Amino acid sequence: MSNTNIDPTILKRAQSWLSDVNIDDETKVRISTLIENDPGELAESFYCDLEFGTGGLRGIMGDGTNRMNRYTVGMATQGLANYLKMVFAAEPEIRLAIAYDSRNKSSYFARIAAEVLSANGIVVYLFENLRPTPELSFAVRYLNCQSGIVITASHNPKEYNGYKVYWNDGAQLVPPHDKNVIIEVQKIASIGEVNFAGDESKINMIGEKIDNEFLKISKSYSLAPEVIVPQKNMKIVYTPLHGTGITLVPQSLRNYGFENIHIVEEQAVSDGNFPTIVSPNPEEKAAMQMALDKARAIDADLVLATDPDADRIGVGVKDLDGNYILLNGNQTAALLTYYLIKQWQLKGKLTGNEYIVKTIVTSELLGDIARSAGVEYFDCLTGFKWIAEVIRNLEGKKTFIGGGEESYGYMIGDFVRDKDAVTACCIFAECAAWAGSKGKSLYELLLDIYLEYGLYKENLVNVVKKGMSGQAEIKAMMEGFRANPPKEIAGSQVTLMNDFQLRQATDVVTGNVTPIALPKSDVLQFFLADGSKISMRPSGTEPKIKFYFSVRAELHAVADFKKVEAKLDGRIEEIIVSMGLR
């Protein structure tokens, strides 16, 4: 195939790798093959640099500037090393912990990061085998590290991998460090600037000791161990979806006192190809199907799943008809929040100084539950780094009970500063045991919450836009809504518009504009006269724009649940159609 079919700029970028003495010969052969045979893939691989965003890297694995590979990981790590040496220049020793998940090349990328960091004089604590993301967050603080890295692409498809950076509080980067690290990474203009010559004397392997400390502290967050004893044989089905959860979740459940745990063995094998599922995402029923089938076969009481890096949790329960259903992220968050606050009340632990945190796109039901108990709640931007920032700002002043977001991530207490599916699995099982001690199922407990606070129903529509053109389309969609906001949606007037990019809230009825005291973010929210809430934002980790829908109605009797739920489902569909998303 002639090179004339390839964009000259892209061809020049690819040829610069072919002429770079720092690129290995095998990579050069593969790039040459792309030039000759696959201009489309060549374009996707080289049309830009893989962006080091505020959370780190995430992308498809392969050769090129826009792919996850030895060189892009090395350049990111060199930039991080440079920044750490600037910020912590006065420290006698800079320390960093590294963990990785079960994805293809995760251990390889972790080793590259360790070598680059150690070559730059930084002491590295590298987990000897795959470990959950929450354990990395814990290890950063436990080992008094200045930073941390976890190699994972969370629940993305198997072609992806990623690289998340943590600060010395065990949380992902927030301002000013997120932008400052990006600046240092962008300063690395060539692969030749990366020091790959690792210093083995500075690389320390870690594992079982950290596991034991993590499990011990996680167990200390049990709020009602007395309800577990009579419920210890509750049947729990668990699947790690081929990921890291298998290293800690079953043991943690046993530590809490649960003895009847049934693991989906086919998915207990750590495999980055995820052979039994298309996507390792516990939000999707297809990923949970084997666990649900096992639950039906043994008449289980609870189904639990964790994504590949074990920071998200999926939950299955029986409904009133005995059918297994999956809870969505808002329902799980509501149950956890209700249980945590209720137990703090029952144990006399509430002093008026406690709080929870949720993200702006998460159900308002969590705020209702907190307010009714006199517990303060805070809204923050999407992403657990913002929940962790609230904790950091209130440390020593107020007591954090828990937090969560609709995308299946939850945090119990503050010993971990990121989503923690390990502890969340245990507390959720404890919640099920508590409900059982009252003669209720988890589903019945959820219905009780709806009777008390109203039935909230949420939905999420992902509009996927891949590649170069996709980025432009997503940007145009946000600009369109921002420049020409709707006056009404599905027959209901828009009463409030929150623009987190401009950091201002506009009362559409009065025209009053008030500032939003949260960091700048490309998010829009519309509140309607009927109480509905619509949020939209480009994903920070995937090629999609997300639309969140939330509606609410009173529920006066359990017998009315299906009727009211169907009405709310219909209302969400009206809104989706009105916005041109169907």
Mind telling me the catalytic residues? 154
Can you say whether the dihedral through the CA atoms of 45, 48, 49, 54 is positive or negative? negative
Backbone phi and psi for residue 312, each to the nearest 5 degrees, phi listed first: -115, 150
Report the alpha-carbon distance of residue 65 to residue 69 in Å, rounded: 9
Q: Are 82 and 90 within 8 A, CB to CB?
A: no
CB atoms within 10 A of CB 439: 7
Lookup result for tokens 């959370």: 55
CA 413 to CA 402: how far, in whole Å?
Answer: 5
Provide the token pair at 538.
């480009």
Question: Chain-centre distance of CA 341, in angstroms?
Answer: 23
**Parallel, antiparallel, or unpaired for β 236-239 and 261-263?**
parallel
Q: List helix spans (H) across 65-162.
A: 70-87, 106-119, 133-142
Q: Whole-angstrom Cα distance, residue 349 to residue 172? A: 30
What one-character-per-residue DSSP string does 449-516 give?
HHHHH-EEEEEEEEEE--HHHHHHHHHHHHHHHHHS--SEETTEEEEEEEETTTTEEEETTT--EEE-
Tell me which H or E stretch contains 575. Answer: helix 561-578
- Where does residue 241 fall: left (phi above 0), alpha (psi -120 to 50 degrees), or beta otherwise? left
E strand or H helix at 40? helix 39-46
